[in-house]
Amino acid sequence: MNKMNSCDGRERALLWLRHSGLVVAILLCACRRDREPIVTSAEDSLASDAITDVNESIAFVERSKELGVVATYRNGEEQNHCTLLESLGGGVGWFDFDRDGWLDLVTAGGGIISQENQITGLSCALFQNRSGQAFQNVFQQAGFHAESLYSHGIAIGDFDNDGFPDLIVTGYGVPQLWHNAGDGTLILAAGLGSGIDDRWSSSAGWADLNGDGNLDLYLARYVNWSFENHPFCQDSKAARDICPPRSFEGLPDSVYFSNGSGSFRDVSAEIGLRTDGKGLGVLLADVDLDGDVDAYVANDTTDNFLYFNDGRGSLEEGGLLSGVALDDNGIPNGSMGIDLCDFNRDGLPDIWVTNYEREYFAIYRNEGRGQFLHVSRRYGITDLGGLFVGFGTVCEDFNTDGFTDIVVANGHVIKFPDASPRMQLPLYLRFNGERFQREQAANGSYFDTVHEGRGAAAGDYDGDGDIDLAVSHLNAPVAVLENRFIAKNHSILVELIGTSSNRDAVGARVDLFQDSGPPMSRQIVGGGSYLSHSDRRLNFTLPDTIEMADDAKPFSDLARSLRLTVQWPSGTNQTLTVPSTNRFIRIVEPLASDAQGLQRGRQP
Amino acid sequence: MRLGWSVIALIAMVTIVAGIPVVRRMTSPSKEVLFQKGLERVSRGDIVSAREMIRSLHANGAPEMALLVQARVLLAKGFLQPAIDSLEDVEGGADIVKMKLLVQGEAAYRMGQHSETEAALIEVLAIDSQCVDAHRLLAASYYDIGAVHAAIHHLTQTAQLSPRDPRPHRLLALIHKDYELFDEAIPLYKESLRRGPDQPDRDDLLFEMASCQVKMRQPREALNTLAMGRDGIHENVLRAECQLGLGDIEEARTLIVKVTKNEADNLDAMVLLGTILLEDGDATGAAEVLLRASTKYPKDYLCHFKLAQAFTKMERLDDARQEREIAEQIRTLRKEFAELHQVAWDNPEDPKVRLRLAALAAELLRPDLEQVWLHAAAAVGEIVFQPQP
């Protein structure tokens, strides 16, 4: 959320304002004036040819209204305070809250700001999924009264390992920890740590950082804005606007270790956190493949952090060293959304980051040994056409062509932007094996319409085997986007249940091996996207025919040769043969003596 | 009869002789015309003719106008203080005073005396708020000391008062470009180009505009813009960057090779080549190029930043650490340098910030910028500064 706001003192990489002698040359030199003026041929235009011209449009259908998902995130901008608080927006989260096999949806409610500078929260919504056909907001019945908090983020994790997913709601005030009682209700749990910490929090992620089998919490915090620290900022046309993040000091993030009983202790000071970030996005994943969960933090206008875990929860920040702190010009970006994906299928997890409008969205290609390279230009990310302020983002193979696609929810952060509009088109980027291409949306469809997008999360809410989406907007209804791509290929949905490891199996890595070629790798991550939570189940799609060394065989013939290996956070490794395709597979972590551990799950 | 013709001839002669001054008076130019011609001759660099006009003005009883043209001549020949001094006693109507102040303002500007420039030209604008030359000079003076808000104001006035002049938009565009307001810079460049399609530095303008388009993620538009200009080294580096942005690595590589054939040590080309090699997985090749670049340009941040990445990839970890430390030092300097521009912008009369900018420029091995900021500091404060030749 890096806002220029005319001139905000941001780092200018090559700002050599003083063009020695140039002013005289330009202003005072003699200049011929006897020619008729002409119009230059370099006209403003969107690079429309950057949009791929394939026939297939983006096959998502917006169904929120007919499904009964009626929820709007409110940011309280009506009083024109122009607070930074208004720009963050809210998140969404997919989770099977009642464990009926269908993904439910939780959405942040935001808040209102009175004329007298009073900040009040609004209800979050909890939509119970009725067999994929309808949703009902059950927040009242569930006792999910989160309205004491001006909310932003949703992060879901079974922090007490009881099999029922719990959640945390972040925002401007004390974050709320909600324990899922398993009877259809959520109970507000005791606070995090010993004291009351109401510093502004944004995204959060759950993962077992210290390897004790319980989920710990990484909580990103933003900046020290308050009404007591609310400078007057204006845009280039002198209208009051939201101040850029550079006007404020960053707040240090927090890490809470689980005590194992549903309570937590604040270990932020002990484990080596940096204090100079302005955190908006969190991704917890094993990026260096050493068997523990690392933490990547997207910061707004300051260096992004990559904390390498020593396996016991001690974190060492090495973002700069590993090449993921800055862009390829060595400049910190206004980073918001994050996801992990092995887009080039080399078995190494890459990091995808959405950024502010004049910055490239970033693909940090994993070079191995904890090293990354910013390669956005090489893969077409710099040729999207137009400028975008990217927030929520999900990497998934939505169209089941075997390659990772990327969805980005976009929208500006200030009221009167100059370079790009406040409401922006969402992006669907299709990877063709060499480059990402921006896909053309059908007229009038969700992806053909501008929004002020914020949180985004993926999940197969209708149980048809493909990945759907939920997207949150500023002051506009949440969208539920049903995936209508015609399935080209076979998909396998894998759910992991930890026993020695944390029950959510965050940090587990699953590789799908074919007879030849590199495996398809996926990880169960904590956090990700922006303020949002995607379904934890892992989706694999495989080409209809797999090119072998000598010929191509139908997939069904090859299914028997597919193997799944699971590396559990506990260190247990497991190898399984895939029983068939188009399957939902639930894998329970085996005890040391149990070699199999595979259960056949049902397709919900 | 003969006598008659003789009388007529005599009368005619007398009439002609007597009428010469009258005719001369009727056909000779007015002092205003002489004055304008004088100024015109000076601006054409025709000092000999200008001196004739000065003499004529004296002869026509217009000593103030003669002195004004004379002051212009002095100005043109670089005798700045004499130009100011020569007008000390000139008095007259509003037009004369305005002209006198304009000359003095320009002389002061060229001597780097911002306060004197400002004082003279503000007075000019009090007499004639539409005086385009005063706005133009004030814009230049404010720009030079880093008072960009004021510079933009006077440039905008200049542009309005002189609707066919492409220069104000060019400088406005440049200011916006420097402050990374690329979206605002691009239409300003276009307007400058519309006003002056054949302006002398058109190719530079096209290059600057294309640079802005690259920053605005418009590589195709940038390539179109570059296609209208020269096929120079810098343009080809920018073309290579556009091709990289479009994902055409091979075309980018070809362009870089073309550049380095003509200029082996081109910094941007070397960095781009290093980047491509690094992404190719050829860390050794990248390190070789980047090492050469960082030796040649030891204060270039990107060289050291990328070189650290190449060394890391090669597992030369000590070298990588060293390069990273250097990069961080440069980054810190650059950050302060960039932030102080904003401070200078907001504090147009503060010499200290300008001195600090000069010191930072020196540390960043930019003596040209160091000189400019030293000049700016001297122009706004009581700082003794001996400009380097």
pLDDT in tens, B268-321: 999 999 999 999 999 999 999 999 999 999 999 999 999 999 999 999 999 999
Tokens for A531?
């303020």
Reported as a single tens digit per residue, the pLDDT across B124-174 is 999 999 999 999 999 999 988 888 889 999 999 999 999 999 999 999 999
Q: Greatest CA span in chain B, whole angstroms?
A: 122
* A562, A512 Cβ separation under 8 angstroms: yes
Q: Are A414 and A5 in contact (CB under 8 A)?
A: yes
**Which pair of structure tokens corresponds to residue A510?**
């699953």
CB A335 within 8 A of CB A303: no
* Chain centroid, CA B24 distance in Å: 46
> Nearest to residue A304, comparing CAs of A272, A271, A337?
A337
| Contact flag B302-A329 (C-beta cutoff 8 Å) | yes
CA A16 to chain B, closest CA, distance in angstroms equals 7
Nearest to B144 among A6, A16, A23 (CB): A23
Q: Which residue of A has its CA nearest to B139?
A: A27
A433 contacts chain B (CB < 8 A)? no
User: How far is the C-alpha of A437 from the C-alpha of A427, rounded, in Å?
Assistant: 10
Task: Report which of B349, B274, B353 is spatially closest to residue B309, judged by C-alpha positions.
Answer: B274
| Closest residue by Cα to residue A285 from A531, A507, A511 | A507
Confidence at residue A12, expressed as pLDDT on a 0 to 100 scale: 34
Write out the DSSP string of A535-597.
---EEEEE-SEEE-SS-EEEHHHHGGG-EEEEE-TTS-EEEEE---SSEEEEEEPPPTT-S--
Positions in chain B whose pLDDT score sits under 50: 1, 23-25, 385-389
Closest CA to A225 of A330, A88, A50: A88
Give the number of C-alpha atoms closer than 13 A to the C-alpha of residue A259, restricted to the C-beta side: 11
Share of chain A above pLDDT 70, in %: 84
Q: Chain B residue closest to A8 (CA)?
A: B342
Please tell me the predicted confidence (pLDDT) of residue A8.
Answer: 34
Residue with tokens 């080809």, as numbered in its chain? B236
- Using a CB-CB distance cutoff of 8 angstroms, which residues of chain A are in contact with residue B136? 27-28
Q: Which residue has the tokens 């400078």?
A: A231
CA nearest neighbour of A106 among A119, A95, A120: A95
Reduced to 3 states (helix: H, G, I; strand: E, B; else coil), residue A82 is coil
Question: Of B50, B62, B111, B124, whose CA–CA distance to B85 is shortest?
Answer: B111
Contacts of B220 (CB under 8 A, 6+ apart): A47, A49, A50, B242, B246
Contact B220 A326 (CB under 8 A): no
Number of Cβ within a 10 Å radius of residue A231: 9
- For residue B47, the distance in angstroms to the closest alpha carbon of chain A comes to 17
Amino acid at A297: V
Distance CA B67, CA B48 (A): 15
CB B146 within 8 A of CB B348: yes
User: Which of B103, B309, B336, B364 to mutate to test binding with chain A, by most A CBs within 10 Å of its CB?
Assistant: B309
Q: How crowded is residue B81: how many other Cβ atoms within 10 Å of its Cβ? A: 11
Q: Give the nearest chain A residue to B310 (CA atoms).
A: A373
Q: Determine the residue among B121, B153, B217 to mutate to test chain A binding: the one whose Cβ has the most chain A Cβ atoms within 10 Å.
A: B217
Give the dihedral sign, CA B28/B29/B35/B39. Answer: negative
Q: Parallel, antiparallel, or unpaired for β A583-588 and A490-497? A: parallel
Of B279, B339, B373, the CB nearest to A9: B339
Helix (H, G, I), strand (E, B) or coil at A491: strand
* pLDDT (0 to 100) of residue A73: 98
If DSSP codes are grouped into helix, strand and coil, which group holds residue A334? strand
Q: Is A329 on the interface with B (CB under 8 A)?
A: yes
- The token pair at A359 is 């910055």
| CA A140 – CA B359 distance, rounded (Å) | 64
DSSP class of residue A533 equals B
From the list A510, A545, A504, A549, the residue with the least C-alpha distance to A527 is A504
ipTM over 0.95: no
Q: Which residues of A touch B219 (CB under 8 A)?
A: 47, 382-383
Length of chain A: 604
* Chain B partners within 8 Å of A371 (Cβ): 309, 312-313
Residues of chain A with pLDDT under 50: 1-21, 24-25, 29-55, 545-555, 595-604
For chain B, the residue count is 389
At B294, list the tokens. Answer: 């960082």
Three-class secondary structure of residue B125 per DSSP: helix
What pLDDT was estimated at residue A582?
63
